[in-house]
């Protein structure tokens, strides 16, 4: 008799971030750890009205089983929006509605990854993707992210033998770093990928949350042809509780993804899809997104300003033009895992960077979320964190320190 649990589960672990959120949930802790959109901006009244209307008027359909592909008018809305906002051509039939964009990653893993297949991700990389793909036992390769996107010579090297199955990327306001691919890096990436069998997976949950600079064309169908895959989500532009994401892919891939989705959950909540569609029909989503942009833009502004004021000069910080995160680099040799313990004592929290590196590096980095705190809270929290970092970097604090059991254990499981 084999072991009780399947071997694949040895390489998958509970999300470090979700574990950390438990530590930071105490009411007097200011937390920049979570990756939550600001619930004060949720269109609560509009959603309540949309829900009552669509269930009352079309309940026998809105509460029933539906197709695996997703609600057709919702897919039409998404396709039309790609044409209007991004200038790319996507057919409604090429869109598969998923249970959040996390499910996109699970389905892609199921459909593409054989054990040992090479999967290229960014360094640092999105934790949800690392977790979802790990179930299917790939071999991860990484490319470092620079201020304007991936390191191109590194990319050429890792793709040289054409033995990389997938290249997963978040080109706009990446989680965790907040960094984006410049126009030039997009072009260069497309040139490196041309003629390779590698499939580029472009995850774009934050693309519409731009508060500075110019919108960029999507990689997929902007710089790269149809065989590549584009992911989207309503979580950051409307609300995440619906669990509504989507995959854009060519027909052969969509066929496989639909089969995998049937086996996974039959279809995404009809109720979620219908309420969201009703909301989109009855309201101006662009005006709503503009409110989010303005608010997050101010919050990021305040956070950057406070970091300038309270952090020592030896600490680096990214300057994202959108999204929800800032990325901090401490001086070489400083451990953000150890800083985390200190920060909790100072009643302020963040996510240490190491879990975002599959190669075990990145211990001197950390992620700050600015979307889910008011400007006043950001000011107070960054002041606390600045004080904490200064103490941490001061010579007298360099003596050996005890290691916190829970985050350390969880981190090890991700290395």
* 15-44: contacts with its own copies (CB under 8 A): 15, 18, 36-37, 39-40, 42, 44
Q: By C-beta, is 117 or 316 nearer to its own copies?
A: 117
> Under the criterion CB under 8 A, does residue 317 sit at the interface with its own copies?
no
The token duo for 295 is 């608010």
Please identify, using beta-carbon distances, which residue of 84 and 162 lies nearer to its own copies: 162
CA separation for the pair 357, 145 (Å, rounded): 12
Nearer to its own copies, 397 or 413 (CB): 413
CB-wise, 50 or 366, nearer to its own copies?
Answer: 50
Cα gap 341→31, rounded to integer Å: 13
Query: Closest Cα to residue 415, out of 373, 372, 352, 350?
Result: 352
Other residues' Cβ atoms within 10 Å of the Cβ of residue 195? 8
Site for its own copies in 85-114 (CB under 8 A): 98-100, 102-103, 105-106, 110-114
CA–CA distance, 64 with 75 (Å, rounded to integer):
18
CB of 314 to its own copies, least distance (A): 34
Q: Counting contacts by CB under 8 A, is residue 209 touching its own copies? A: no
**CA pair distance 8, 250, nearest whole angstrom:** 29
- Whole-number minimum distance, CB 215 to its own copies, in Å? 26
Stretch that binds its own copies, among 52-60, 181-189, 344-352, 374-382 (CB under 8 A): 52-60
User: How far, in Å, CA of 295 to CA of 279, rounded?
Assistant: 21
Question: Rounded to whole angstroms, how far apart are CA atoms 331 and 393?
Answer: 9
- 327-366: contacts with its own copies (CB under 8 A): none
Q: Cα dist. 137→18, 116, 161, 212 in Å?
A: 22, 6, 20, 39
- Residue 262 binds to its own copies (criterion: CB under 8 A): yes
Q: Which of 68, 172, 371, 373 binds its own copies (CB under 8 A)?
A: 68
List the interface residues with its own copies, window 154-193 (CB under 8 A).
Answer: 162-163, 165
- For residue 349, the 8-state DSSP code is E
Q: Binding pattern to its own copies, positions 121-160, x when CB under 8 A?
A: -------x--xx-xxx------------------------
Q: Does 239 bind its own copies (CB under 8 A)?
A: yes
| Cα(80)–Cα(88) distance, integer angstroms | 10
């Amino acid at each position: 008799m084999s072991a009780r649990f399947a071997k694949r589960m040895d390489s998958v672990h509970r999300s470090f971030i979700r574990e950390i959120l438990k530590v930071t949930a105490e009411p007097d802790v200011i937390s920049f750890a979570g990756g939550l959109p600001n619930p004060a901006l949720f269109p609560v009244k509009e959603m309540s009205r949309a829900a009552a209307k669509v269930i009352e008027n079309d309940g026998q359909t809105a509460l029933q089983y539906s197709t695996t592909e997703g609600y057709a008018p919702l897919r039409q809305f998404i396709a039309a929006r790609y044409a209007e906002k991004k200038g790319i051509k996507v057919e409604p039939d090429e869109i598969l509605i998923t249970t959040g964009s996390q499910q996109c990653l699970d389905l892609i893993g199921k459909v593409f990854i054989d054990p040992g297949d090479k999967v290229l991700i960014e360094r640092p990389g999105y934790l949800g993707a690392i977790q979802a793909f790990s179930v299917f036992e790939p071999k991860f390769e990484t490319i470092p992210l620079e201020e304007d996107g991936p390191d191109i010579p590194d990319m050429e090297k890792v793709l040289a033998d054409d033995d990389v199955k997938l290249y997963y990327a978040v080109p706009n306001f990446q989680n965790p770093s907040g960094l984006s691919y410049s126009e030039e890096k997009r072009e260069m990436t497309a040139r490196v990928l041309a003629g390779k069998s590698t499939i580029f997976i472009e995850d774009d949950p934050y693309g519409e949350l731009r508060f500075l600079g110019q919108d960029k064309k999507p990689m997929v169908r902007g710089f790269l042809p149809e065989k590549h895959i584009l992911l989207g989500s309503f979580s950051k532009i409307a609300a995440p509780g619906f669990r509504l994401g989507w995959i854009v892919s060519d027909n052969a891939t969509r066929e496989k993804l639909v089969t995998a989705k049937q086996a996974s959950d039959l279809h995404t909540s009809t109720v979620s899809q219908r309420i969201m569609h009703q909301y989109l029909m009855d309201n101006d989503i662009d005006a709503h997104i503009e409110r989010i942009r303005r608010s997050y833009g101010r919050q990021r502004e305040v956070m950057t300003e406070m970091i300038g004021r309270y952090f020592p000069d030896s600490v680096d910080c990214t300057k994202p033009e959108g999204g929800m995160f800032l990325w901090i680099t401490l001086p070489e040799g400083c451990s953000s895992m150890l800083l985390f313990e200190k920060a909790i004592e100072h009643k302020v929290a963040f996510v240490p960077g190491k879990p975002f590196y599959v190669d075990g590096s990145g211990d001197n980095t950390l992620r700050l979320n600015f979307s889910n705190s008011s400007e006043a809270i950001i000011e107070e929290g960054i002041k606390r964190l600045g004080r904490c970092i200064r103490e941490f970097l001061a010579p007298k604090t360099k003596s050996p320190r005890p290691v916190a059991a829970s985050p350390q254990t969880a981190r090890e499981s991700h290395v």
